[in-house]
Amino acid sequence: MIVLGIETTCDETAASVVESGRRILSNVVASQRVHASYGGVFPELASRRHIEILIPLIDEALKRASVTREELDVIAVAYGPGLMGSLLVGLNTAKSLSLAWNIPFVGVNHVEAHLYAAMMGQPSSVLLPALGVVLSGGHTFLTEISALGSYRLLGTTVDDAIGEAFDKTAVLLGLSYPGGADIEKLSLSGNPQKYPFSSGKVKRSPLDFSFSGLKTAVLYQVNRQKKEFGSLSEEERCDIAASFQHTAFWDVIRKSLLAASTFACKAIFLGGGVAQNQYLQNLFAKEAPHLPLFFPPKELCSDNAAMIAGLGYHKFVSHRSGSPFSLEAAPRISFH
């Protein structure tokens, strides 16, 4: 079965062709650079850009896959969560193509797809129950996965998503948006133990996250440094980045292992743009040698349409039908 995936939840426009939920025939992603000067995603500009490039991008994905539209069986589209305007572009395009080409479309949850990305390359019987850890620019979730499509939420953030904390910290260190990857680079030359920042605790919810305090601690440190020395030296920037990164990931790992201890967890699947961070992957492997860890390849960590097509295949097969045309864009859905 050949599925065309469409992803437009935020500032990446993406299209992909995937066979039987696993074999990626093409995976085309266009990241919108226009937002860098605003220090964050400008929603109106994001949806306008999706409108401009989605159709040519779908053509490109079909071309790279050497697949004609007559060979497509299903169209999968991320219908939420995300920015309303952006979601509407992807969903309405999927509905229109579904009508025009007379093939079903299926709506997929973007966050669930981030987790599926870690399972996509694995043998067909994945280790379950497992812990799912989503670390992205908009989402931070710990969830028990008992089967594909069956989840129990264990923890989430009460304020910023982890990627958001990386992006805001990056701005404080003079990096441009989105700055997660640059924080990782700066940290390579920094001392992660230099500043003992503390991670956020949520009263009576040991598995929930709070990153706003950590971000403020970085702000205070930057200001202190600037007041004392007039500017932030390169060495200081690296040390602050490394200490921030270490604190944020130590918190994620500690809470993930605590969450895993609450059920008969057999493996941990991680997904989302932040999960491509090599420091996180190494630290996690060191701290959790007893549990198999599955990270998606880099190109499937950040937003992409291959994970949407892959999960869409399973949704279509398990429901034996597509989604109804009444399906609406859902900016705030959860996935359990």
303, 307, 308, 315: which one binds Zn ion (CB under 5 A): 303
200, 273, 312, 322: which one binds ligand KG4 (CB under 6 A): 273
Is residue 27 within 8 A of residue 13, CB to CB? The reply is: no
Between residues 72 and 211, which has the closer beta carbon with respect to ligand KG4?
211
SS3 sequence, 243-254? HHHHHHHHHHHH
16, 136, 169, 221: which one binds ligand KG4 (CB under 6 A): 136
Residue 274 site contact among Zn ion, ligand KG4, none (CB < 5 to 8 Å, cut-off depends on kind): ligand KG4
How do beta strands 268-271 and 130-135 pair? parallel
Structure tokens, 201: 């605790």
Is residue 236 within 8 A of residue 194, CB to CB? The reply is: no
Considering the complex, what minimum distance in angstroms separates the CB of residue 33 from ligand KG4? 14
Instruction: Tell me if 322 contacts ligand KG4 by CB under 6 A.
Output: no
Enumerate residues 134-163 that contact Zn ion by CB under 5 A: 136
The stretch among 60-68, 173-181, 284-292, 321-329 that binds ligand KG4 (CB under 6 A) is 173-181
141, 166, 269, 284: which one binds ligand KG4 (CB under 6 A): 166
Q: Helix H segments across the chain?
A: 43-65, 84-101, 110-119, 162-172, 180-187, 212-229, 234-260, 278-287, 298-301, 306-319
Between residues 88 and 111, which has the closer beta carbon with respect to Zn ion?
111
Element housing 142 (H / E): strand 140-147
Q: What is the DSSP letter of 182?
A: H
Residue 130 to residue 292: CA distance in whole angstroms: 10
Report which residue type is found at 280: L
The stretch among 67-75, 132-140, 144-152, 314-322 that binds ligand KG4 (CB under 6 A) is 132-140
Instruction: Tell me if 276 contacts ligand KG4 by CB under 6 A.
Output: yes
112, 167, 236, 251: which one binds ligand KG4 (CB under 6 A): 167
Reference 325, options 82, 70, 7, 106; nearest CA is: 106
Instruction: Tell me if 13 contacts ligand KG4 by CB under 6 A.
Output: no
Between residues 85 and 272, which has the closer beta carbon with respect to ligand KG4?
272
Enumerate residues 178-217 that contact ligand KG4 by CB under 6 A: 178-181, 184
How do beta strands 12-19 and 2-7 pair? antiparallel
CA distances from 4 to 78, 83, 109, 309 (A): 12, 21, 15, 6
The stretch among 99-107, 157-165, 189-197, 297-305 that binds Zn ion (CB under 5 A) is 297-305
Between residues 208 and 303, which has the closer beta carbon with respect to ligand KG4?
303
Structure tokens, 33: 């650079």
Considering the complex, what minimum distance in angstroms separates the CB of residue 115 from ligand KG4? 11
Number of residues that bind ligand KG4 (CB under 6 A): 19
Residue 218 to residue 201: CA distance in whole angstroms: 17
8, 32, 86, 277: which one binds ligand KG4 (CB under 6 A): 277
Residue 54 to residue 90: CA distance in whole angstroms: 8
Q: What is the contact surface with ligand KG4 in residues (CB under 6 A)?
A: 10, 136-138, 163, 166-167, 178-181, 184, 272-274, 276-277, 302-303
**Residues within the interface to Zn ion (CB under 5 A):** 136, 303
